[in-house]
Structure 1
């Protein structure tokens, strides 16, 4: 295996099926000691050749709670140097191929780049240099303190993109043709990157999978930090939190955020409008043109809610009374349950509520973003993943599309959600569209316009559907 020179020193990876893989390359210094609640710092140069055969340490985190832990594997690799990334490339040092940078999801408190379904060999096989990265999570990445910067995890992502800009040519990538893509909290992060002046010039295209442009005020986000401080019985400052043993800190974080999910709410972690990395809310910044000139592909899954509602039986515990209570509490349109039920004969109250929540939290904000960009510089394309998984009655749930995008349906991680009979042809079509978009900005269907074309990946293959479920979407206008 040849050695690649980076700005901080040479690295040596491995060759797997004709693809060169470099895992665990540090892009910033280990966030420990005085750097624990500080912005990412430069990596000290190393002596000799850095061996990159294995994934690097993952960011400190708690495992997913049951029953999600049985569906979403989340490897934990010990070590302090968690600000690392991985590169897959077919011919390092040759050519200038499109680059795709994957930002993982996990509600800003879980996940890592070491998940098996994120393996980048299929992208490298098809002419892309694939990069995936780790960033700080939970209280260490998204805590809000009076004596430390906010959005440290987002700052980490920007530092990783700066590393790509400076080093990717040595791996055969084109630093002027970078596409960022991510799912769930990864897509949420990408919306913030599109809005952040600090990320300008670091990427050319963006793909948002099942994550909308949202951020909150410092006051709102600080409530989670304050709750964790109460569990620890220390002041809610970075200085005091840095003195706490990491295991104790994670235990307090788990207790303070128990029960919250991205769809059902509860205490969790958020991106913050901080006047620096995020001068204003991403949705407002994007509507005003912060992403002008950048091509964007965005969308979600038909049954996002089922990942949280079905495995633990919540969908069956929701009756009509709970449905209407949620309508009142969430200030949903009064007509909404009837409109959603008309399109879903036989659906339970829990399924009706789940479909409404999916639209309110994900589909409708993404449609609004597409509408806001329709007449601005930069093309916009919309997709929907609709293939119904037979596993655990999950159908087209949150995160199901990832194995299709990466063309990794055979990995154990993907099989947990898809089962063994997922259509390979659909994975080939979806993966091919992502590669085409990263290569030239056109995934192969009409850009967003007044007819609302949505490429739908479903049981009958891939086809364009115009304005799907428009009556339901209009309820939220």
Structure 2
């Protein structure tokens, strides 16, 4: 038997365990290592505080507590909720404790209110197999992580990301990783987190490359954040300050969050999302975050760091098609009226999406929602970085789920992680998803993390060029995001 892996961190020793010894996927896992004290009591709503050091080996053999309190049974990605208070922790997966390998730090999605770093989809075994140390991190969610609170530091969830990345810089060499070769990656809200961090002057020393999959940025305006906080205080019957909010339990705050931000249901909730953005997430507080994400990138922040980003073709279309029967006989232009009031822009958008119009009005509405929340961000970010010292690469994911009928949100994640055999993947990808496509996508990710180039022409060489992952393979497409250009302000 191989000796149990034991690593000395800056806070104390941690003991992990070996997995799949003797196989190509052999790796060591260290789970639930705290990078900060539990954010409870007087530390609730405070910036993350370094953990108390320990001397005896910490048994890092089970996932630590998650900020997510209820497992997402029906979520697209399996997201286990682990009880406990020490929710600020990291999980490290490594093929060997010696050496100096590139590192992927993964930030989970979930709309900044849900998600779990303990998801089996984020297991780093296949990246380990290909010579990449993988770290998944946790952070505070919803109002606790991102709500405005008078008397408390803003953007506590962002500060959690920073503290986790500081932990990586300080400790990852002991796990076989190279702190000078750190790529941050994430999907959905995690992809938005990556772009937020990329645009922050304070974080530039903490990573060297970035991967944003289906990124959704929040950029919540400060007045909006204040109004939502005041609404929670009103609903909870407390003062809108740190003392008042601490008097509300975590559970009560989670109950009040949706009522304060997106009280409407159905089409009303979608309209709120489009007009007001994500209800919770990084806010432009004027201090930690001075500018909206794209503006920061256009100003040259993060210009020296290679970036890979893209989205799925129909991220949220499956939500709209649930209303397909109601929209069957309604023209696509009429369906878009509540979302897109400007007649000229609406006409340009419909002309650019003629192929989608053939699938019906609900498909057009779903594509518009997908474009507004996710896809339009790809050309906006890529164009903002056109003069950057480091290149930007774009992709599109167009493989259609046999179970959902669309290239939908989250479907691409097990392809990037080469995890088509993992729990609940068949719910999204069917019984026989193409391993060849996973080989291509995972291979591109490994190549980017290792060499800083995923293997196709960068956006700056031909604006609009992207690799399209779909069908039985992939292709290089020019004008890959032309269908969203009408939505970019002139």
1:156 aligns with 2:165: no
| Whole-angstrom distance in 1 between the partners of 2:401 and 2:211 | 23
1:200 aligns to what SS in structure 2? helix
1:334 aligns to what SS in structure 2? helix
- Find the counterpart in structure 2 of residue 48 from structure 1: 56
- Find the counterpart in structure 2 of residue 190 from structure 1: 194
Contact 2:318 2:404 in 1 (8 A): no
1:283 aligns to what SS in structure 2? helix
Which digits, 9 at most, give the CA deviation of each residue in 1:152-202, with x for residues without a partner?
Answer: 001000000000000000000000000000011111111110111221200
TM-aligned CA deviation for residue 285 of structure 1:
0.9
Contact 1:62 1:254 in 2 (8 A): no
| Whole-angstrom distance in 2 between the partners of 1:213 and 1:71 | 20
1:458 aligns with 2:467: no
Corresponding residue to 1:76 among 81, 91, 115:
81
TM-aligned CA deviation for residue 111 of structure 1:
0.2
| Whole-angstrom distance in 1 between the partners of 2:251 and 2:95 | 40
Contact 1:218 1:273 in 2 (8 A): yes
Once the two structures are superposed, the pairs formed by residues 17-166 of structure 1 within 5 Å of their partners are: 17=20, 18-61=26-69, 69-92=74-97, 94-166=98-170
| Whole-angstrom distance in 1 between the partners of 2:342 and 2:85 | 41
Corresponding residue to 2:14 among 11, 15, 28:
11
Contact 1:194 1:290 in 2 (8 A): yes
Once the two structures are superposed, the pairs formed by residues 363-402 of structure 1 within 5 Å of their partners are: 363-393=375-405, 395-402=406-413
Contact 1:383 1:454 in 2 (8 A): yes
1:305 aligns with 2:308: no
Counterparts in 2 of 1:177 and 1:307: CA distance versus 1, 3 Å: farther
1:429 aligns with 2:440: yes
TM-aligned CA deviation for residue 214 of structure 1:
4.6
- Find the counterpart in structure 1 of residue 177 from structure 2: 173
Contact 2:219 2:283 in 1 (8 A): yes
Extract unaligned runs of 5+ from structure 1.
none
1:199 aligns with 2:203: yes
TM-aligned CA deviation for residue 61 of structure 1:
4.5
Contact 1:143 1:225 in 2 (8 A): yes
TM-aligned CA deviation for residue 416 of structure 1:
1.9
Extract unaligned runs of 5+ from structure 2.
21-25
TM-aligned CA deviation for residue 91 of structure 1:
0.5
Corresponding residue to 1:314 among 289, 309, 323:
323
1:243 aligns with 2:247: yes
What is the total number of aligned residue pairs between the two structures? 470
| Whole-angstrom distance in 1 between the partners of 2:359 and 2:379 | 25
| Whole-angstrom distance in 2 between the partners of 1:213 and 1:331 | 27
TM-score (norm 1): 0.93
- Find the counterpart in structure 1 of residue 354 from structure 2: 342
TM-aligned CA deviation for residue 324 of structure 1:
3.8
Contact 1:25 1:86 in 2 (8 A): yes
Q: Please, what is the CA RMSD of the aligned residues? A: 2.1
Counterparts in 2 of 1:38 and 1:425: CA distance versus 1, 3 Å: same
Deviates more, 1:233-242 or 1:402-411: 233-242
| Whole-angstrom distance in 1 between the partners of 2:158 and 2:181 | 21
Contact 1:359 1:473 in 2 (8 A): no
Which digits, 9 at most, give the CA deviation of each residue in 1:387-412, with x for residues without a partner?
Answer: 0001132x111111100011111112
Deviates more, 1:196-205 or 1:352-361: 352-361
| Whole-angstrom distance in 2 between the partners of 1:341 and 1:447 | 25
| Whole-angstrom distance in 1 between the partners of 2:218 and 2:175 | 34
Contact 1:207 1:296 in 2 (8 A): yes
Deviates more, 1:298-307 or 1:21-30: 298-307
Which digits, 9 at most, give the CA deviation of each residue in 1:57-112, with x for residues without a partner?
Answer: 00045565xxx8253332111000000010000111x1100000000000100001
Deviates more, 1:272-281 or 1:423-432: 272-281
- Find the counterpart in structure 1 of residue 23 from structure 2: none
Deviates more, 1:323-332 or 1:343-352: 323-332
Contact 1:263 1:358 in 2 (8 A): no
Corresponding residue to 2:286 among 235, 260, 275:
275
TM-score (norm 2): 0.91
Which digits, 9 at most, give the CA deviation of each residue in 1:266-313, with x for residues without a partner?
Answer: 772131111222121111110010011100001000011225334xx1
| Whole-angstrom distance in 1 between the partners of 2:94 and 2:168 | 13
2:182 aligns to what SS in structure 1? strand
- Find the counterpart in structure 2 of residue 420 from structure 1: 431
TM-aligned CA deviation for residue 215 of structure 1:
0.6
- Find the counterpart in structure 2 of residue 326 from structure 1: 338
Contact 2:104 2:183 in 1 (8 A): yes
2:284 aligns to what SS in structure 1? coil
1:268 aligns to what SS in structure 2? coil
